[in-house]
């Protein structure tokens, strides 16, 4: 396996980007011993890539990007707005001199139609994905699409949902981005989705069932790591757990219970857990 170990920006700060908080997250990620940081891009795209690139260089840290589509860029309803935003995210990824953009790129988080995804909506999504995939290829960027649970979207809840839509596009730079928190809700197990994706799996958010310390919840890590070994996984394992010790985090991600661990302990302990299974 060829694995890079990362931490999400959200392991250290709330999803509201500003330069000071971003610098802090980069410093903390490097100090904790990760290979890379996943920067969740703000939908405003108010993000100084040149400045951030210098910070990454100073701390000898690699980077990947992600974007979660907001409600006003729900692809099925607002395809032009969604395509424009994803293109902007590809540009920021390119400016950071990295080659991966992941995230919830199938629909706006929290948007529901009241019904399952229709064929007409699926066609709109695949058209937008096709356009942005072509644009991303010109920039040398691969795109990973993250399915999330039924309480946050009706579009893509499972690995199979994403893989089916990717196959309709015929684009080879679209990949699957999994998240073990959402898998724990939507998938039958943690083995089959990984095997289904195979080499189309490039990025995984490693997070426990309660968003706390890895190994202290109900995620079946044995199944996941067995599957990763079987496909000879080549990609990123990125920690995305949350601590109530981060100001504003409880309100931003509905983390109503007080965390057992602060952000530093959570990050370092979870990284050790992942490495112990991989190395």
Q: What is the DSSP string of 41-77?
A: --TT----HHHHHHHHHHTT-EEEEE----GGG-TTT
pLDDT higher at 263 or 202:
202
pLDDT at 248 over 90: no
Q: How confident is the model at residue 14 (pLDDT cuts 50, 70, 90)?
A: confident
**Do 156 and 182 form a contact (C-beta atoms < 8 A)?**
no
Closest CA to 221 of 191, 182, 266: 191
pLDDT at position 41: 95
Lowest mean pLDDT across 88-92, 131-135, 231-235, 263-267 = 263-267
Q: Which of 38, 83, 146, 186 is catalytic?
A: 146
The 3-state DSSP class for residue 205 equals: strand
**Do 137 and 99 form a contact (C-beta atoms < 8 A)?**
no
The model's pLDDT over 133-171, given as tens digits with 9 standing for 90+, comes to 999 999 999 999 999 999 999 999 999 999 999 999 999
Q: What is the CATH number of the domain that holds 76?
A: 3.20.20.150
**Do 247 and 12 form a contact (C-beta atoms < 8 A)?**
no
pLDDT at position 102: 98
The model's pLDDT over 53-110, given as tens digits with 9 standing for 90+, comes to 999 999 999 999 999 999 999 999 999 999 999 999 999 999 999 999 999 999 999 9
**Checking DSSP bridges between strand 174-179 and strand 62-66, what pairing results, if any?**
unpaired
**Residue range 224-252: average pLDDT?**
90
Residue 160, domain extent = 2-278
pLDDT at position 242: 83
Element (H, E) at 145: strand 142-145
**Checking DSSP bridges between strand 2-8 and strand 142-145, what pairing results, if any?**
unpaired
pTM (global) more than 0.85 = yes
| Whether residue 46 lies in the annotated active site | no
The 3-state DSSP class for residue 106 equals: coil
Total domain count, the chain? 1
pLDDT at 243 over 80: no
165 is written with which tokens? 């839509």
pLDDT at position 64: 98
The model's pLDDT over 163-220, given as tens digits with 9 standing for 90+, comes to 999 999 999 999 999 999 999 999 999 999 999 999 999 999 999 999 999 999 999 9
pLDDT at position 86: 98
| Whether residue 38 lies in the annotated active site | no
């Amino acid at each position: 396996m060829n694995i890079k170990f990362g931490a999400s920006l959200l392991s250290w700060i709330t999803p509201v980007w500003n330069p000071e908080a971003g610098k802090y997250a980069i410093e903390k990620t490097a100090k904790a011993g990760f290979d890379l940081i996943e920067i969740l891009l703000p939908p405003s795209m108010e993000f100084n890539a040149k400045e951030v690139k210098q910070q990454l260089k100073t701390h000898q840290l690699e980077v990947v990007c992600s974007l979660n589509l907001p409600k006003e860029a729900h692809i099925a309803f607002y395809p032009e707005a969604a395509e424009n935003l994803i293109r902007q995210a590809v540009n920021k990824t390119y400016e950071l001199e990295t080659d991966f953009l992941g995230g919830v790129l199938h629909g706006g988080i929290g948007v529901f139609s009241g019904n399952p995804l229709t064929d007409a909506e699926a066609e709109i999504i695949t058209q937008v994905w096709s356009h942005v995939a072509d644009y991303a290829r010109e920039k040398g960027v691969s795109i990973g699409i993250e399915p999330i649970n039924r309480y946050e979207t009706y579009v893509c809840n499972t690995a199979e949902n994403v893989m089916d839509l990717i196959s309709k596009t015929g684009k080879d730079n679209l990949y699957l981005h999994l998240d073990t928190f959402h898998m724990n809700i939507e998938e039958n197990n943690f083995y089959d989705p990984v095997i289904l994706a195979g080499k189309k799996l490039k990025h995984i958010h490693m997070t426990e069932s309660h968003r706390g310390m890895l190994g202290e919840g109900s995620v079946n890590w044995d199944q996941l790591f067995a599957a990763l070994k079987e496909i000879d996984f080549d990609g990123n394992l990125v920690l995305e757990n949350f601590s109530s010790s981060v100001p504003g985090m409880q309100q931003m991600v509905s983390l109503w219970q007080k965390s057992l661990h602060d952000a530093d302990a959570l990050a370092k302990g979870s990284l050790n857990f992942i490495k112990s299974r991989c190395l």
